[in-house]
Amino acid sequence: MDWLKERIVKEGVVLSDQVLKLDALLTHQVDPALIMDMGREFAARFKESGVTKVVTLESSGISVAFAAALELGVPMVFARRKKTLLADPDALCERVPSFTKGIVTDIMVSRQFIGEGDKVLFIDDIIANGDAARGLIKIIDRAGAELIGLGVVIEKSFQAGARTLREQHVHVESLVTISSLEGGKISFS
């Protein structure tokens, strides 16, 4: 994944020892060719798993999840962070803190889009503490679906999220692992 590491170094902005801003790469602007490359990589890593749905969280994970779902030939579902007037009143909901936003939000998925018999691949852009990931995993479980694995574009290994999920026997595949942001420098594992 040297190509992805190069882009992260070139376009990422280290805001602190804990926060890497990726607006130019994943969270505000996306490079469609790069996103498709990431989707192909996740599809290759999980193609033998029988995935029937790809899920993600609104909004930064959507582009990569879409690319992976396209490659796998399955639907993509995203968990919404805001209720709308048209929201399913029977949606599966979970309250989760957001590390980068510094707030607690509700995430929700309509029961009509995920359920028993689904084999779910969860794609996320960045995993830090893993709170949002654990919330969506709870929703997948309550829906009666099987979590096949979690594909993460960037794992921050100096934070506990991915490690704790692996300890819970979640199959986590990271494209890139960042071991430190200390001193404003991005260090990869």
* Residue list for the binding site for 5-phospho-alpha-D-ribose 1-diphosphate: 128-132
Q: In angstroms, rounded to a whole number, what is the distance separating the alpha carbons of residues 179 and 189?
A: 5
* Binding-site residue positions for xanthine: 20, 27, 156
Cα 74 → chain centroid: 17
Q: Which residues are annotated as a binding site?
A: 20, 27, 128-132, 156
Q: What is the DSSP secondary-structure string of 123-170? A: EEEEESS-HHHHHHHHHHHHTT-EEEEEEEEEEETTSSHHHHHHHTT-
